Structure 1
Amino acid sequence: MKKNKISFETTFWAHQELKNPFEVVDAFLGSENLTYYKQTLSEIVFYRSKDEIYQKECPGDVFFSYTAFRSFLRACSALQHKSKKWKVTAVSAEKRSILSLASLTIEEYENPFTVFENAFAEHSLADFEFFLCEVIHLALRPTNVEFDSDLLTPYIHVIKMLDASQLLMESQIEKLVNNCV
């Protein structure tokens, strides 16, 4: 049975349709740095509970961020299945970024694929896309609106996925050879 592949929908922000989740993450982190994405997401989550509109001077930037984050989440969804086929080698001391552990546990730092597995074991891709849509919707409203969904847990998972993705891009990744008996 053939798996249905989801489109990462990268055409708008990457100017081409990328089909490999590693390429999507590389393009995502190549278009802006990790700090920018973490700060942008934090501001969006912060503005969801304010009486002000996030980036009212240039709301088109919010749409652009939304499409990039949505593609990123779709790529992360695909990466959750890669831990059985790929192995992360250690990052050398001179290549190690200021990231260090960041939001990751030691186990997650040693195997960043577990971040994606844990996130998508707790929430579906649809849940993460709802979270993204909901926080942006609330951040772009001129009034404070009560909401009844958990927005903190998906936010924490997305921050961890950003850190794990940065670590994957800094690491050497080897494809594991199938040892069939």
Structure 2
Amino acid sequence: MKKNRTDFQSRLGKSHKKYFGLQLMENYFQFNDLTASKEQLNSIMNYALKRNSRIQEDPSVILHFYQAMRSFIRAGSFIAMKEKKGFINTPLEEVSPVVLGLLSEKEYQNPLLVFKKAFREYSIQEFDYFISGMAYFSLGVYQNLPERNMINPYIHLIKMLDAAYLLLERRKEKEEIKMEIPGSNQHYHDSI
């Protein structure tokens, strides 16, 4: 009797993987606001580095945020691996420093640089260690502080949040422009 094998690669081929990281980012921002995420990360960081204080929020909120950030980090890693030249790259115009945030002008032009730099310096496991350590230390009063430098991963996460939001906004703008152009949604063989 011949065994039939299902080929899952054909269903989950390259077209599925093309925007997988962006889809995960979009899902993250459907449930988490950019400003609220940055404030929550900042609050967790502040309480984690204080010796005799604990965050006042419910631990379930911190746990939910921790899990959401872990999925965000994995999405960022996936985006960093997928290199596409000119991918949502825009020319720099007059941009105020408030809009730039922590991003440099080059990073604002090409937000993929933020993810590439972050995952060159730190692995997914190191980001996991950082976010789990910050959640752990923020929830209780401990004698010891985290043993590693936690400022750099924190800055990378803040920049990745800004860059991801920027990527998604530019993707929406690009899709809106496509929808406005007549005939852009039709395939070549449909017009024959």
Listed as ranges, the matches of 1:95-114 within 5 Å are 100-114=99-113
Listed as ranges, the matches of 1:1-181 within 5 Å are 20-50=20-50, 51-56=52-57, 58-84=58-84, 87-90=87-90, 100-172=99-171
Structure 1 unpaired stretches of 5+? 1-18, 175-181
Letter in 1 for 2:130: F
Deviation at 1:85, TM superposition (A): 5.9
Q: Equivalent residue of 2:83, what SS?
A: helix
CA distance in 2, matches of 1:54, 1:66: 14
User: Is the CA contact 1:115–1:164 (under 8 Å) kept in the aligned structure 2?
Assistant: yes
Root-mean-square deviation (CA, aligned residues, Å) is: 2.5
**4+ long deviations beyond 4 Å:** none
User: Is the CA contact 1:83–1:114 (under 8 Å) kept in the aligned structure 2?
Assistant: no
Letter in 1 for 2:27: A
Deviation at 1:142, TM superposition (A): 2.0
Letter in 1 for 2:144: V
Aligned residues between the structures? 153
Deviation at 1:89, TM superposition (A): 4.2
User: Is the CA contact 1:48–1:144 (under 8 Å) kept in the aligned structure 2?
Assistant: no
CA distance in 1, matches of 2:138, 2:91: 37
User: Is the CA contact 1:47–1:139 (under 8 Å) kept in the aligned structure 2?
Assistant: yes
Q: TM-score, normalised by structure 1?
A: 0.76
Letter in 2 for 1:55: Q
Structure 2 unpaired stretches of 5+? 1-18, 175-192
Deviation at 1:21, TM superposition (A): 1.2
Q: TM-score, normalised by structure 2?
A: 0.72
Higher alpha-carbon Rg: 2
